[in-house]
Amino acid sequence: MEADFRQTTTDKTERYQLFLPQFELFIGGEKEEVSVLANAAAALREAFGFFWVGFYLVKGEQLILGPFQGSAACYRIRKGKGVCGTAWAEARTLVVPDVDLFPGHIACSSLSRSEIVVPLLANGEVKGVLDIDSDQLNHFDETDRCYLEKVAALIVQTLYTA
Ligand code: SME
């Protein structure tokens, strides 16, 4: 199994285009949630060098911290709270160019400056969120949204569909 996600190109679109088929092959067929999410966080970190990348999973009325790469983070986020809880409540991707300007942003690291949160949507139900933080302002754009939604869809297809 090819598990080397390092990349040489600096073009973001090209990076995602190279990443997706490799990632699909890599996670395809495995159904163990923790294992797939742990490898997804590792692969994304290796390919893109994200400051923090990981998952929060829906459990009752809260999100709980799942597999991630980066500094230790908060355990629980209530529905509608922070960027993650809002993306869950609204079942849509949120791109936050400056976390200080997002009302109610939850700062797990004071170094985090911008953020993108993509829900894991299975048949309209949010199973969890993919959360990525940057230590740079304005790090994420429509290219990230477009391709990270494809990454989330691959994860959903692998884990949450029959
Ligand atoms: N900033 C997130 C909390 C999770 S950490 O970024 C890892 C939020 O506002 O929901």
Question: Could you read off the pLDDT of 71-119 as tens digits, one per residue?
Answer: 999 999 999 999 999 999 999 999 999 999 999 999 989 999 999 999 9
What is the 2 CA–ligand 1 centroid distance (Å)? 31
By residue count, the chain amounts to: 162
What global pTM score does this model have?
0.95
Confidence at residue 9, expressed as pLDDT on a 0 to 100 scale: 78
Residue carrying structure tokens 């990632």: 23
Residue carrying structure tokens 């709270």: 81
Q: How far is Cα 29 from Cα 82, in angstroms, rounded to an integer?
A: 33
Instruction: Ligand 1 pocket test: pick from 71, 131, 134 the residue with the most ligand atoms within 8 Å of its Cβ.
Output: 131
Confidence at residue 157, expressed as pLDDT on a 0 to 100 scale: 95
The string of pLDDT tens digits covering residues 126-159 is: 999 999 999 999 999 999 999 999 999 999 999 9
Cβ-based burial of 42 (10 A; exposed 0-12, middle 13-18, buried ≥19) = middle
